Structure formats: structure tokens, C-alpha cells
Amino acid sequence: MDLKLLEELCCVSGVSGNENSIRNLLAEKMKDFSPEIDCTGNLVCIKKSKFKDAPCLMLDAHMDSIGLCITEICERGFLKFSAVGGVDERILPATEVLVHGKKDVFGVVSTKPPHLKDKNDQDTVSIDSLFIDTGENSDGISIGDKISYAPKFKKMLNSVSGTYLDNRVGCLAIIDVFMSLNDKELPFDLKAVFSVGEEMGMKGAKYGQQVADMGIVLDVTFGKTPDETSDEALEIGGGAAIGVGPNVNKKISGGLLCCAKDNNINCQVEVLEGCSGTNAWMYQVKGLGIPVGMVSFPIKYMHTPVETMKISDYEDCVKLLVDYILGLTGEQISEISGVEIC
């Protein structure tokens, strides 16, 4: 794992609807693979096969993130705001943020000192009761401007923690896969889609104009902690999470599991009993749909400024994807997708 590049990706803003900065960075990192921006704002890159009319395998990772949006500018630089995506209101008080106006402005989310609380104060937090304090620095800030968590990134022994691992680890994985396969001749086109708007209804996957015969979506999933006993949470350090269930194609998930076993790659099964809440769902059902698989990175503290993951889980995911792609043939893609090779 290139920790320096991951830090760079995690510390660039990309709140849904305002993905320009992260898209420009990804386009620079993927400049050898013909980066283009589609009508939706997705960044699309491709490694072309030498074979004419070759089928296409797509790797998708959303580049957008959750965040906040200014709804009112008050006196003395205080701002009212609403959520963009699935923001956890519990963690907002005293959180450091960046307001993306004409220039970035640092702010902190208000919180009442415990000494001043009385018995009528609620223990629960409502976003409607909070303000962002910019220190009276509201010049260049407008209603509608997006707000992101102030960037953080730390290595913790064999783990990393920081802002927006969801889903910058997926973006980094696509970069690593393409670089690993750069000098390999593949019997199919390999397409990368860094999609927009996943946190706001999977906009990029829903309305994007990507054409592929099958795809694999990369995203994060829930990692276990001592206080989390849900069956949805997976083991940190357990390896790549391979999705199975009605949201994914059985042949793709089966192929990924066999690849992990044959190549001694740590993996675990993630049961997706319905809509996965990821782009995998939208690619499967939009239009005529395409067959998709799902590979996820278990992380702790999702949708907070301190998302945390184990480095070995990332490495297992990338190795799985590279080995699976190297073992895939154009005929297999056509069989899975039901499209014949001309």
C-alpha cells in the first residue's frame, strides 16, 4: 500500500456534488489510461485490449464522500448547515471542518460546555441545533457551499486511520490494479470508473454512460469492534470481503472465492441479502443491467473523521483483484454477461 498516495487521496475534498478536486487528482494519477469525464461527472479510464471487439470488464469505486452543506450564514461567522449523505449526527459536536467557499475556511462544530448543561438538555444531538464557528471568518462563504471534515491521516502500527477512507481506498485499489497490469496483455478491455454521487443515491452508477459487459464494485464495509456484534460486521484482518447474495452475480462471486482459495489470499464472505447500498446494486438494475461482483474493505468507524482499516486487508483485496483479472478470459466474460464475442 502506498501510504503517501492514500493520505493524498484521503485529504482531498470530494463531497457529493463537489468532486472536482478529487477527480482532478485521480485523473493525474491515471493519466496513462486515457482519462475522460462523462456527462454525469464520473472519471472513466481504460486499458485497451489489442483484440478487436473485445468484451469489457469494469472496476468501479465511488470517489465522492459524505459532508455538510451551508443553509444559513448567521452573525459573527456562525453557519447553519445540513447533511450531505449519511452523516452521523452523534459525532458532529466539536468536529473540525473545512468550508469550501471561494477559499477553504477552517471551522469547528459548536458544542455546549458540560458545565452549562441543565437537566432539560437532550443527550441526543440534532443537526438542527448545531452551528459551525468560523471565528468570524465568513468572507467568501455562500449558502450552498459544501463542507468536509478537516483532513486527518495517521498510521497506527499495521493500520491506517483518517478521513474518507470511504471510499478513497477503493480508488487507490483501482490505481494499484491498473499499475500492476500495465504491462500485461489482457484479452478484454479493462475500464476504471471513479463514480460521483454514490453517497447521494448512487447518481454516477445510475446515470453514467459507461458501457461494460460485467463489473466489480469496490467499496468499504463494516468492520468488527468490541461494541459491535452485528452479523453485518466483518473481521478486521480477515482479508478481502467478497459479496454473495442476490445483489451480485453468482459466477463472479464464485470465481472470486475460488481465486482467493487457489492463490492463498485471505478472504471472508459478506452476505448481501438485498440491496447492498452500493453502486453494485445500481449497476445491476439500471437499464438492462450488467452482472456485477462486490469486493469490500472492512473498516471501523464508518462515516466518521477517523475511519480505520488494517493494511493487510487492503493488500488482500488488491492481490485478489489482480489474480482474478489475470485468470479471466474474454470467453468467460461473454459467458457471464451473455454477450457473444464477434
For the segment 127-172, what is each residue's pLDDT rounded down to a tens digit? 998 999 999 888 899 999 999 999 999 999 999 999 999 999 999 9
> Is CATH 3.40.630.10 correct for 3-65+163-337?
yes
> Is CATH 3.40.50.12160 correct for 67-149?
no
Query: Is 198 considered catalytic here?
Result: yes
How many alpha carbons fall within 13 Å on the CB side of residue 110?
Answer: 16
Of 198, 199, 270, 307, the catalytic one is 198
- Report yes or no: 86 and 220 within 8 Å, Cβ to Cβ: no
Q: What percent of the chain has pLDDT over 70?
A: 95
Does residue 65 have a pLDDT over 90?
yes
Residue ranges per structural domain of the chain: 3-65+163-337, 67-149
The answer to whether domain 3-65+163-337 and domain 67-149 are alike in fold is no
Q: In what order do the strands lie in the sheet with 240-244?
A: 36-37, 43-47, 189-195, 56-62, 214-222, 292-299, 240-244, 267-271
For the segment 172-208, what is each residue's pLDDT rounded down to a tens digit? 999 999 999 999 999 999 999 999 999 998 988 987 6
Using a cut of 0.85, tell me whether the model's pTM lies above it: yes
Rounded-to-10 torsion of CA 171, 43, 202, 231: -10
